Amino acid sequence: MSSPPFAVPARSVTAPGVAVRIPGPTAATSRQVFAAQDRPAGRFAGLSRRLSWPLGVCTTPVAVLLLWELLAKAGILGPTYAPAPTSIARTAVSLWNQGVLGPDLATSLRRAAIGLALGLAAGVAAGVLGGLLRTGEYLLNGVVQVLNTIPILAVLPVMIVWFGIGELPKVLIIAFGAFVPMYLNLFSAIRGVDQRLTEMARTAGAGTWRLVTWVLVPGALPGFLVGLRFALAFSVLGLVAAETVNANTGLGYLITQGQTYLQTDQVFVGLIIYSVLGLAADQCVRILERVLLRWRPGYEAM
Amino acid sequence: MSAATAAEPRQAVNSVADQVVRRFGDRVVLDHLDLALGHEELVVLLGRSGSGKSTLLRLLAGLDHPDGGTVEVPRKRAIMFQSDRLLPWQRVLRNVMVGLRGPGAAERARTALDEVGLAGRETAWPKELSGGEAQRVALARALVSQPDLVLLDEPFAALDAITRLRMHDLVRELRGQHHAAMLLVTHDIDEAIAIADRIVVLGDGRIGSSHLVTLSAAEREASPAREELRAALLTDLGLARRR
């Protein structure tokens, strides 16, 4: 089959006045014209965006803080109800200078780090076993599904009965919070790797080790990072629970003290530090995503 | 039928399917099918959709097992699928290397990429490739292991017409350098005529007819013999124009 020569439609396409001949305003509005445009080049594009939204995603938080400050200064919000952000900041500085905040923060961070390390290590090991081996699935999946249905806060009493009120139950509850989402996400991520890709790798001659390291592990990375995010969030939840119920050091203790003596600004200091910790953890995962998932088609918003 | 007549391969046999049966539930897809591929022969398997082309190819690939009969194929074989099946998280070079091991692997992969005209694209991510480029990487990946049998499952079906023609040229060119038998599955008659040594038509679960193609490259593009072969294939597929 050969296509006809191009002579036939040429005249009608290039006929002069085609655009002019279309009458009336309806025709004009039913058409769109795109022409070359002065577009701000390179770094100026970023600059102009920065000028129109100088605070980016921080816009709403900053607006809330300003409103809060105004309401507190105007006396509409009482100091025991919601102290002004500036007075919270002052309290944070003075707590730090008194040598209270630093050690409490260090204690909390140590608990979180140890608990996370334990929970993530166990979650990754179990997830890989369950994901790669059918035996692993049969042995582990049922147990973790059951654990997943138990709210983390409800485990706390058992932990206290078993391990007392020392450091161990606090670390364990954080580890528990991290383990369950890590396992579940990693398991489904490994199982979710495109069957056609594993088939391809096998037929191309890849051995089991090559299949695991080149196909399954990198294919499961997005799911792993989702699991990591949930693990971090749940472990902070575990940290709060463990420290609030029984502790004499740590951020939770600081908050409980503030509540007891109606020092609301101290309570807010604790809350803000928790939120900063959560944000920092989330940023870490974001950076990991950017580095590890470079191969993914970009999904950054305009 | 002058240039295109049924004939058994005269060369040494590369692959054999002997009385192969494959059922899915009650449906018999392959019904005592016989097919032999000669040494370095390029056979195109034509058939309507649902005729069992891909099923036969998967049997030859060892991805599936027959319900009856035997399949005998070389141990070193490679498959190219309709989609490129590149690992999105590995760069192009690593995608070609996926089945290789040993110290010379990277060098061999580079050579294979050069053969398909993609030298210099080793560090690209698959998402950065066009459809034709991605299929050429897949072709390099299939050929890099020096297989004795290459199975191609509608490898160019998703490409645009111009890219497809260039891929046909590439396949013809590469056949001079690689000594493998090839089985290419397609539903495109023109593609079959463009590259085949032999065209077999699958119908009712068996090889219905077999046409040896001895046309020159120029004759494959336009000649009375080509049109005759095309008409014969259309008849075999049950698509002859009723006049």
The predicted model gives B165-182 an average pLDDT of 86
pLDDT value, residue A77: 85
Q: Is the pLDDT of residue A236 over 50?
A: yes
pLDDT value, residue A24: 53
pLDDT band at B1 (very low <50, low <70, confident <90, very high): very low
Beta-carbon separation of A204 and B99 below 8 A: yes
- Cα–Cα distance, B53 to A220 (Å, whole number): 33
From B89, B126, B145, residue closest to A219, measured CB to CB: B89
pLDDT band at A66 (very low <50, low <70, confident <90, very high): very high
Distance from CA of A297 to the nearest CA of B (A): 7
pLDDT band at A291 (very low <50, low <70, confident <90, very high): confident
Distance from CA of B101 to the nearest CA of A (A): 9
pLDDT value, residue A184: 95
Residue of B nearest to A212 (CA): B98
Nearest CA to B201 out of B72, B83, B56, B23 is that of B56
Residue of A nearest to B144 (CA): A204
* Cβ(A173)–Cβ(A115) below 8 Å: yes
Best of A1, A2, A195, A203 to disrupt the B interface by mutation (most B CBs within 10 Å)?
A203
* Cβ(A115)–Cβ(A107) below 8 Å: no
Q: Are residues A281 and A173 in the same domain?
A: yes
pLDDT band at A63 (very low <50, low <70, confident <90, very high): very high
Beta-carbon separation of B126 and A218 below 8 A: no
Q: Which of chain A's residues have a Cβ under 8 Å away from the Cβ of B77?
A: 203
- Cα–Cα distance, A250 to A242 (Å, whole number): 10
User: What sign for the dihedral angle of Cα A152, A153, A155, A156?
Assistant: positive
Q: Are residues A89 and A229 in the same domain?
A: no
pLDDT value, residue A204: 87
From A204, A215, A295, residue closest to B141, measured CB to CB: A204
Q: Cα dihedral angle (A77, A78, A80, A81), rounded to 10 degrees?
A: -30
* Cβ(B15)–Cβ(B44) below 8 Å: no
- Cα–Cα distance, A254 to A252 (Å, whole number): 5
Q: Are residues A107 and A238 in the same domain?
A: yes
Q: Is the pLDDT of residue A133 over 70?
A: yes
Confirm or reject contact between A297 and chain B (CB < 8 A).
Answer: yes
Q: Are residues A87 and A214 in the same domain?
A: no
Q: Which of A79, A98, A117 is the last residue of a domain?
A: A98
Beta-carbon separation of B61 and A203 below 8 A: yes
Residue of B nearest to A295 (CA): B89
Report if residue A29 sits inside a domain. Answer: no
Residue of A nearest to B91 (CA): A295
More confident residue, A73 or A37: A73
CA distances from A278 to A232, A240, A281, A288, B6 (A): 8, 12, 5, 16, 73
Which CATH number is A112's domain given? 1.10.3720.10
Q: Are residues A208 and A69 in the same domain?
A: no
Placement of tokens 């095309």 in the chain: B230
DSSP 8-state secondary structure symbol assigned to residue A262: T
From A197, A206, A297, residue closest to B99, measured CB to CB: A206
pLDDT value, residue A94: 93
State the total domains in chain A. 2
Beta-carbon separation of A203 and B88 below 8 A: no
Q: Are residues A93 and A108 in the same domain?
A: no
Q: Are residues A65 and A175 in the same domain?
A: no
Distance from CA of A225 to the nearest CA of B (A): 15
Residue numbers of A between 192 and 211 with CB closer than 8 Å to B: 196-197, 199-201, 203-207, 210
Q: Which of A72, A98, A124 is the last residue of a domain?
A: A98
Q: Are residues A121 and A87 in the same domain?
A: no
Q: Are residues A109 and A92 in the same domain?
A: no
Q: Is the pLDDT of residue A246 over 70?
A: yes
Q: Is the pLDDT of residue A17 over 50?
A: no
The predicted model gives A61-88 an average pLDDT of 89
The predicted model gives A99-107 an average pLDDT of 89
Report if residue A300 sits inside a domain. Answer: no
Q: Are residues A135 and A197 in the same domain?
A: yes
pLDDT band at A12 (very low <50, low <70, confident <90, very high): very low
B214 CB neighbour count, 10 Å cutoff: 14
Q: What is the DSSP code string of chain B?
A: --S-------S-EEEEEEEEEEEETTEEEEEEEEEEEETT-EEEEEE-TTSSHHHHHHHHHTSS--SEEEEE--SSEEEE-SS----TTS-HHHHHHTT--STTHHHHHHHHHHHTT-TT-TT--GGGS-HHHHHHHHHHHHHTT--SEEEEESTTTTS-HHHHHHHHHHHHHHHTT---EEEEEES-HHHHHHH-SEEEEEETTEEEEEEE----HHHHHS-HHHHHHHHHHHHHTT-PPP-
Structural domain for A84, as ranges: 56-98
Nearest CA to B143 out of B192, B177, B118 is that of B177
> Which chain B residues have any C-beta within 8 angstroms of a chain A C-beta?
61-63, 77-79, 81, 83, 85, 87-90, 94, 98-101, 125-127, 141-142, 145
Confirm or reject contact between A214 and chain B (CB < 8 A).
Answer: yes
Q: Which of A48, A82, A98 is the last residue of a domain?
A: A98
Confirm or reject contact between A276 and chain B (CB < 8 A).
Answer: no
Q: Is the pLDDT of residue A11 over 70?
A: no
B123 CB neighbour count, 10 Å cutoff: 10
* pLDDT tens digits, B78-114: 899 988 899 999 999 999 999 888 888 899 999 999 8
pTM (predicted TM-score)? 0.76
Report if residue A229 sits inside a domain. Answer: yes
Beta-carbon separation of B79 and A207 below 8 A: no
Which tokens sit at B168?
């046909």
Share of chain A above pLDDT 90, in %: 41
Distance from CA of B94 to the nearest CA of A (A): 9
* pLDDT tens digits, B16-38: 888 888 988 888 888 888 888 88
pLDDT value, residue A21: 52
Q: Is the pLDDT of residue A9 over 80?
A: no
pLDDT value, residue A2: 46
Confirm or reject contact between A218 and chain B (CB < 8 A).
Answer: yes
Q: Are residues A107 and A82 in the same domain?
A: no
pLDDT band at A42 (very low <50, low <70, confident <90, very high): low
Beta-carbon separation of B63 and A295 below 8 A: no
pLDDT value, residue A198: 92
Beta-carbon separation of A295 and B85 below 8 A: no
Q: Are residues A71 and A148 in the same domain?
A: no
Rounded to two decimals, the ipTM of the complex is 0.81
From A205, A293, A297, residue closest to B145, measured CB to CB: A205
